[in-house]
Structure 1
Amino acid sequence: MSASGGTKAIVAALAANLSIAVAKFVAAFFTGSSSMLAEGIHSVADSGNQLLLLIGGKRAARASTREHPFGYGRERYFYAFVVAVVLFTIGAAFSVYEGVHKISDPHAVESPIWAFAVLIFAIIAEGFSFRTAIKESNVLRGKQSWVSFVRRAKSPELPVILLEDLGALLGLVFALFGVTMAVVTGNGVWDGIGTLMIGLLLAVIAVVLAIETKSLLVGESASLESEELIRRALESTPEVERIIHMRTLHLGPEELLVGAKIAVAHDDTAAEVARGIDEAERRIREAVPIARVIYLEPDLDRSSSRASS
């Protein structure tokens, strides 16, 4: 996985979630809090998700084969989609179930000091992880809004980590709310409400991730900015009269396929056309380095031929 894949952010999130998961389960054991148990499961699910992202990055780096001539770049999209499914089925479903169960059969929170101590520690640890994800994302985000970055990013790891960390922080706030209200009122129903809020939050995040990664998995074109750079590179090539049509497709986050039909002068020789195609490919790669697979089909500029006649 390249640096833009956010490996640093993934490792930071994994380290934070593993330590937090242990602390949450200890607190859940001593307090009997369903919110703490749901948060522990949440952290385990997040840790598994980060491992999946690392595996996806490693598998995507494999060399192309006869069966997969364009390589395995989309493995990263597949594993990001699996993350969304895991987050929904394990994190959201369990939390919603546990919340409903606790609301229907409430129990007082025992030894609440354990819950408060762990939640404060978890908020600090998740805060550091979220800060790392933000710093890594800002390198690629540029002037985009955060919503636009999550929707348009071609590398799935950073949006996934960003939403996971944001969900983790909000989930901790919900757990803190549920435990605090249960202790203050003496009513364990509040603990269940906090757990249910965590489950619904995870469900929303999972749906958003699934929608965005599905779009990448199916196949997205290059950004408008990249396509404009490619068009300029083609049109600046002397042998290219004009672009008849062009298509782009991401084979992976850092690998772009470009296919275009270009018009050439009717009196160009085969050698001149070949030289023009080579020059056009060079200019495209210079303008957009991730354009690694380029297919250019020459055709006669029939519009200029009709105009001259």
Structure 2
Amino acid sequence: MAARRGGEGWKEHIVIYAALAANIGIAIAKFVAAGISGSSSMLTEGLHSVVDSGNQVLLLYGEHRAKRPPDRRRPFGYGRELYFWSFVVAILIFAAGAAFSIYEGYVHIQDPEALRSATISYIVLGVAAVLEGASWMTAVREFSRSKGDAGWWRAIRESKDPSGFIVLFEDSAALAGLAVAALGVWASHVLDMPVLDGVASVVIGCILALVAVLLAREAKGLLIGEPADAETLRRIREIVGAHDAVTRVNHVRTIHIAPEDVFVAVSADFEDSIPMGRAEGIIGDIEDRLREAVPRLASIYIRPEKAQDTMRHEDAGDGLNGRDTDRAAPA
């Protein structure tokens, strides 16, 4: 998925703003309905919307913090701060959303309370479904546009911008929760079994827990550090290896320091006859070519190194970014 740079205008965050606006309105309506009807699942859904609203605020805050320029303390910038806040969002979904939902459902199962008014719950759930559906469609449209030809799950796994897929997951979970809440209200009212409303709360909590685990897994990968995509790696090796002075590209190591910023370290074997002074100019020329061809390369480090020395010091992690041991093609 093509990531979005922070600070390029409100349109870059339209998915988050749409979700935030929908969740604030929905949360108020759900709490009113829960107070009138006494529905446990409606109370759970209200809290769910509050948590989602807080999550969108945290994502906006994370994107704002991530766009700060590099300084002496953080020479590679603050881009990965967005990954930290994305991980916090996943934890909040689990702790505040899933845990409370399951607890509230358990309490209602232990001490069932008949619904006082199912009609108000149906009305609020219907309105919430329309608003949540609109937010979900916005998230789907933006994610579909940015993912290109990749499949949905592959695009999520390979995405380096967590904002888009977090909102998509949240909205999907919200729609599923609304369906479960509606079913719980209907079943407890028609079958005169208030306990089913509590069961619906537990199911909603389980849905949130599943989403939280998936998001935490993706956010953890970004926080620890993920390499650039295979096409970017191939392009880097191709450009470095195409230079006349380079005889071999030993390895290319990359890591995302922000959704659209990549640090790359290249080990290359140069012609033995090249003096150090000329090698410096060659490295500068290669760096210029790389920046022109791959604008997302924020930091480039090229190390002249004999192929045999590289192979002797290789560790198990080098295979993650691949290693080109074929002789470089002439320019």
Question: Which TM-score bucket, shorter chain as reference?
Answer: over 0.9
In the TM superposition, residue 274 of structure 1 has moved relative to its aligned partner by 2.1
Contact 1:151–1:212 (8 Å) recurs in 2: yes
Whole-angstrom distance in 2 between the partners of 1:237 and 1:2: 36
Aligned residue in 2 for 1:218: 224
RMSD, aligned α-carbons: 1.8
Aligned residue in 1 for 2:324: none
Given the alignment of the two structures, is residue 32 of structure 1 paired with residue 44 of structure 2, yes or no? no
Q: Render the CA deviation track for 1:74-126: whole Å, top value 9, x for unaligned.
A: 11000000000111111000000011111111111111111000001111111
C-alpha spacing 1:301/1:97, structure 2 compared with 1 (3 Å) = closer
Instruction: Please give the secondary structure, in 2, of the residue aligned with 1:282.
Output: helix
Contact 1:263–1:300 (8 Å) recurs in 2: yes
Aligned residue in 1 for 2:22: 16
Q: How does 1:140-289 map to 2 (within 5 A)?
A: 140-289=146-295
Name structure 1 gaps, 5 residues minimum: 304-309
Instruction: Please give the secondary structure, in 2, of the residue aligned with 1:241.
Output: strand
Aligned residue in 2 for 1:64: 70
User: Which of 115, 120, 142 is the aligned partner of 1:114?
Assistant: 120
- Please say which of residues 75-84 and 59-68 is displaced more in the overlay: 59-68
Whole-angstrom distance in 2 between the partners of 1:153 and 1:139: 13
Whole-angstrom distance in 2 between the partners of 1:282 and 1:66: 24
Whole-angstrom distance in 2 between the partners of 1:286 and 1:233: 11
- One-letter identity of the residue aligned with 1:272: R
C-alpha spacing 1:43/1:153, structure 2 compared with 1 (3 Å) = same
In the TM superposition, residue 287 of structure 1 has moved relative to its aligned partner by 2.5
Contact 1:6–1:157 (8 Å) recurs in 2: no
Whole-angstrom distance in 2 between the partners of 1:2 and 1:145: 28
- One-letter identity of the residue aligned with 1:297: R
Whole-angstrom distance in 2 between the partners of 1:45 and 1:132: 20
Q: Render the CA deviation track for 1:135-173: whole Å, top value 9, x for unaligned.
A: 111232111111112211000111111100100000000
Whole-angstrom distance in 2 between the partners of 1:285 and 1:132: 33
Q: Which TM-score applies when normalising by structure 2?
A: 0.88
Q: Render the CA deviation track for 1:197-233: whole Å, top value 9, x for unaligned.
A: 1000000000111111011101111111211111112
Q: Tell me the matched-pair count.
A: 304
Contact 1:239–1:272 (8 Å) recurs in 2: no
C-alpha spacing 1:240/1:139, structure 2 compared with 1 (3 Å) = farther
Q: Render the CA deviation track for 1:45-85: whole Å, top value 9, x for unaligned.
A: 00000000000000111122212111100110000000001
Contact 2:38–2:116 (8 Å) recurs in 1: yes
Q: Percent identity?
A: 44
Aligned residue in 1 for 2:89: 83
In the TM superposition, residue 275 of structure 1 has moved relative to its aligned partner by 2.5
Contact 1:119–1:172 (8 Å) recurs in 2: yes
Contact 2:58–2:85 (8 Å) recurs in 1: yes
Whole-angstrom distance in 1 between the partners of 2:35 and 2:276: 77
Aligned residue in 2 for 1:48: 54
In the TM superposition, residue 302 of structure 1 has moved relative to its aligned partner by 6.7
- One-letter identity of the residue aligned with 1:252: A
Name structure 2 gaps, 5 residues minimum: 1-5, 310-331
Instruction: Please give the secondary structure, in 1, of the residue aligned with 2:252.
Output: strand
In the TM superposition, residue 301 of structure 1 has moved relative to its aligned partner by 6.2
In the TM superposition, residue 258 of structure 1 has moved relative to its aligned partner by 0.3
In the TM superposition, residue 240 of structure 1 has moved relative to its aligned partner by 1.9
- One-letter identity of the residue aligned with 1:152: E
Q: Which TM-score applies when normalising by structure 1?
A: 0.94
Q: Render the CA deviation track for 1:12-71: whole Å, top value 9, x for unaligned.
A: 000000000001001001000000000000000000000000000001111222121111
Whole-angstrom distance in 2 between the partners of 1:108 and 1:301: 75
Contact 2:7–2:64 (8 Å) recurs in 1: no
Contact 2:139–2:164 (8 Å) recurs in 1: yes
